[in-house]
Structure 1
Amino acid sequence: MCSPAHFAVEYAINPWMDPATPVDPELAVKQWDGLRETLIGLGHEVHLLDPEPGLPDMVFAANGAVTVDGTAYGARFRHEQRSAEAAAHRSWYEARGWRFVAPVRTNEGEGDFAYLPEAHGGLLLAGYGFRTELPAHAEAQEALGRPVVSLHLVDPRFYHLDVALAALDDANVVYFPGAFSVASQRVLAQLFPDAVLAADEDALAFGLNLVSDGRHVVLASEATRLAGTLRAAGYQPVPVELAELRKGGGSVKCCVAELRP
C-alpha cells in the first residue's frame, strides 16, 4: 500500500475524476488508514511504498505490478500523468529481491490482471479496452508462466478489470456482466459457472473493487446489496469507507497490491 499523502484530483483520466470537485486530503489519509488497519486486524501483513510528490495517484498501489510466485511483472502506464509511478514500484520490488520483469507493452498491473491459482490449474484474467493493451496479455503470460484469459471491457466507467471483477478465493470470482463484451460474458460464464454476479448499483458504488482472503471480503461500505449477496454465498463482508479516494476513480482493491512471493 502507498499512503495518499499527496493524493489530489488534479486531472481527469477516468470518468470518475473531476478536478472541480474538492478533495479533503486529511479525510483521504484517515480513510486509507482505516483500510490498512482493517487488513492488519484480519491478520494480513501490510508493506508500504513511499509516496512521492507530484504523483497524486500513487495511492492506487495495485496498478504498479502483478505478482506470481516471486516474479513481478511491472506496469507501463497509459497516461503520462502516472508514468513515473512505474519506476517507484520497480525499485521497491528489486530492493526486496523479487524477480522483476520490465514491460514493453502498456499495462496497469493488478488494475487489469486478476490471478486465481486454483481455477483451471491456475490462470490470470486480464482486461483490455481502456488501459492495458491486448499484446500485454501475451507478455504477462511469458513473464509469469500462467495462462492468460483476455476479457474485453466495453463500458468506460469500468476502465480497469478491478472495478468490474474480483477474485473471491483461489478459484472463484464476483463480477458485473455489463462491464464486458457479450463474448467475454460467455467466457466468464463458462469458466466460473458458480460466480457471484453483482448488480449495477453495487458495481457503480465500486463494490467490485474489493480484496478477499477467501473468507473475509473487504469492500466499499456503499455496496450493501453485494455485501448481502456475498454473505449468502458463505463469505464474510467487511465494509470500509473510502469515499474520498473514490474521487480518484478507485476504492479498496486499487489501494492494495497483493504480494505472492
Structure 2
Amino acid sequence: MCRVCDDFVYNKLNVLGKFDTIICELIHPKFYHLDTCFAPVDQTTALWFPPAFSEQTKKEIMRRLPHSIAVSEEEANAFVCNAITVRNTVLSPRGIKDSTREALAQRQISVAELNMSEFVKSGGACQSLVLRL
C-alpha cells in the first residue's frame, strides 16, 4: 500500500466533504481491482468474494455490510461481483448460482443475468458499462 497515495486521496476527499471510507486490502493476485470481487447491493448488503480480501478487510466489510453474500470462486471467475444494482434488481453477468440468487431474493432483490462474455474477455462486465454522472 502506498501511504503517500492514500494520504493524497484522503486529503482530496476531505476537500469535497466528510466521507466514511474503508481501506480494502486485496490479497488475491487474480482479484486485483475492487470491482472484480465486490459489488454493493444496498445499504447493508454486497456481493463479494472473501478470499480476495485481507482478514482485517473481511471483518470491516461484515461489520458495515452485515447481510453481505459471499460468492463462490466459480461465480467470482464469471465476474458476478462486477454486477450493478438498479433499484431492487442486480444486473449480473451470467454465472450466478441459485444459492446466491436465493440469498438475494431473501432481501427482496431480484437478479437479471446478462450476456457479458465479450466484456469479460477484457476483464470487465456490467460495471464497465456504467457512466456515473
State if a TM-score over 0.5 links the two structures.
yes
Please give the per-residue CA displacement for 1:152-174, whole angstroms capped at 9, x wherever unaligned. Answer: 01112112111111111244322
Residues 29-178 of structure 1 mapped to structure 2, 5 A cutoff: 134-135=6-7, 137-145=9-17, 146-178=19-51
Where does structure 2 lack aligned partners over 5 or more consecutive residues?
none
- Counterpart CA distance in 2 for 1:237 and 1:207 is 11
Give 1:136 deviation, angstroms.
Answer: 5.1
Match of 2:101 among 218, 222, 227: 227
- The C-alpha deviation readout for 1:72-93, integer Å capped at 9, x for no partner, is xxxxxxxxxxxxxxxxxxxxxx
Q: Per-residue displacement from partner, 1:211-247 (whole Å, max 9, x unpaired)?
A: 1024011000122343343234321101100111111
Sort the Cα spacing of 1:240 and 1:187 in 2 relative to 1 into closer, same or farther, 3 A.
Answer: same
CA distance in 1, matches of 2:82, 2:64: 20
Higher relative contact order, structure no. (Cα contacts within 8 Å, ≥ 6 residues apart): 1
The alignment-based identity, stated in percent, is: 23
Measure the CA separation in 2 of the matches of 1:246 and 1:137: 29
Offset of 1:208 from its aligned partner? Answer: 0.6
**What TM-score, normalized to structure 1?**
0.45
Task: Give the SS at the match of 1:149.
Answer: coil
Higher share in helix? 2
Q: Which of structures 1 and 2 has the bigger CA Rg?
A: 1
Whether the 8 Å contact between 1:164 and 1:176 is mirrored in structure 2 is: yes
Residue 138 of structure 1 aligns with an amino acid whose one-letter code is Y
> 1:249 is aligned with what amino acid?
G
1:243 maps to: 117
TM superposition outliers: structure 1 runs of 4+ over 4 Å: none
Aligned to 2:70: 197
Task: Look up the SS of the partner of 1:239 in the other structure.
Answer: strand
Name the structure 2 match of 1:14. Answer: none
Partners of 2:117 and 2:78 lie apart in 1 by: 9
1:207 is matched with which residue: 80, 104, 110? 80
SS of residue in 2 equivalent to 1:244? helix
Determine the C-alpha separation between the residues in 2 that align with 1:243 and 1:162: 16
Residue 187 of structure 1 pairs with residue 76 of structure 2: no
Cα RMSD (Å): 2.0
Give the count of matched residue pairs.
128
Structure 2 residue corresponding to 1:255, chosen from 125, 129, 132: 129
- SS for the counterpart of 1:217 is strand
**Alignment deviations for residues 168-194 of structure 1 (CA, whole Å, 9 cap, x no partner):** 124432211111011111111211222
TM-score by length of 2: 0.83
- Equivalent-residue separation in structure 2 for 1:169 and 1:192 (angstroms): 9
Q: 1:138 to 1:237 in 2, by over 3 A?
A: same
Distance in 1 (alpha carbons) for counterparts of 2:78 and 2:12: 30
Is 1:217 the counterpart of 2:90 in the alignment? yes
- Runs of at least 5 residues in structure 1 that lack an aligned partner in the other structure: 1-128
